Structures are given as C-alpha cells and as structure tokens.
Amino acid sequence: VPYGVIRDLKKCVLALGFLFLSGCAHVVVSDRAYIREVKPVAIGGELKEFPLNAEADMDCHSSITGVAGKGAYYRTIKCTNSRRLNIIASSLAERGYRPIKAADTEAPKVTLTVKKLNGFIERTTGFFNVFTLGILPLYHHEYFTATYESPADGVRISKRVKVYSTHSWLSLFLPNSGGLSGDEIKARAEQNLVRIVLDE
C-alpha cells in the first residue's frame, strides 16, 4: 500500500474522530419568560441620580495572541465585568435613574452573579461523552442570580434562572430555547433577570 494512501487514510480517520467527538449543543433556560426579546426602552427627560453599590461577576475570554515557534503560542485571558455592570446601569436608566457610586455602605446594592455546575460532574459527563463518541451527553449548567438590597428600607429581592446545555449527537434533534443561540439565551436571561428584580 503506497505511503500516501496510508497518510490520507489516517487523516480521514482523525477527521471522523473529531466529528464524532464534537457532537451538538442543546441550550435551554429554566423559565422561558427570561428569554423574551429585550427591546430598548426610550428614555425621556433627564435621569435622576441614584447612589448605588453595584457588583457583577466577570466574563473571561481567552485568545491566541501570537506564535513563538513551532507548536508554541501565547494565550491571553482577559476578564472584565463591564458588560454586566452596563446591564445594571441600562436597566436603571430605563426607569429614569442614572446610577452613581454610593459613598454609604447602607445605600441600595445590585449584584449580578454567575455560578457554574460543579466541575467534577462536568468532567465526569465529559469523559463519558468522549468515551461513547458523543452518545452520552456532557452537561454544563450556569445559574444567573440578580439581587437588589436596600438595608435602609429593609428590602431584599433576589431572582435566579438556570441556563443549562447538553453536548451530544442526540442534541441534534432538540431545538434550542426559542431558536436562539446559546450566547443569545444567556444574554437575554441576564438582562431580563435584572429587569424583573428592579420591577419588583
């Protein structure tokens, strides 16, 4: 058998292997009310200043920034919570308020946090996903929580929504929530979560 044929066969087997391992993701939100379309609200008049303490978990993204040599590369990880802080600020602006940093620890506080599924469970389901060539699903859960607290008024409102995904070939037959992509589902869930908390 010519060496070229063997080499091409290896490439084909490798490609098929990656295809089997890739599977397909199915993303669902625990309450579909949280993925309704987010339409910007027209802001009329001057915004009233609102002293606020705000906290939000960071988004982290990695990227390859350059190649140092054969088989080597630099990976950069950037983390920021500006997107989630902007969600809080824009949600308050829709209600006529412009948040400013509070000097008082007793001032109202809004937090937006994300908690992921236990890593051991995700690694375990990931192992079986690979072992069964994508038949058994890999599970990934994220819990988004928005909280509004005002110690001076004795008010505390907290809401949580779960966004979970499965990764397997069976997911090909399961439509995503509302026909949206995973990133769209998460973005809408966070925005509507803050809105619902502030509405209450």
Quick: pLDDT tens for 104-138: 888 999 999 999 877 777 788 777 777 776 777 77
The predicted-structure confidence for 43-71, as pLDDT tens digits, reads as follows: 767 889 999 999 999 988 877 766 655 66
pLDDT at 10 over 70: no
Q: Kindly report the length of the chain.
A: 200
Give pLDDT, residue 112.
Answer: 96
The pLDDT-based confidence of 92 (bands split at 50, 70, 90) is: very high
Helices then strands (H, E): number in the chain? 4, 8
Neighbours of 72 (CB within 10 A): 8
Are β-strands 155-168 and 48-56 bridged in parallel, bridged antiparallel, or unpaired? unpaired
What average pLDDT is seen over the chain?
Answer: 80
What is the C-alpha to C-alpha distance for residues 162 and 146, in angstroms, rounded to an integer?
A: 12
pLDDT at 22 over 60: no
Residue 4 or residue 143, greater confidence: 143
Q: What DSSP designation does 33 have?
A: G
Residue 30 or residue 24, greater confidence: 30
Q: Is the pTM of this model over 0.85?
A: no
pLDDT at 154 over 50: yes
Give pLDDT, residue 48.
Answer: 92
Give pLDDT, residue 82.
Answer: 93
Give pLDDT, residue 1.
Answer: 47
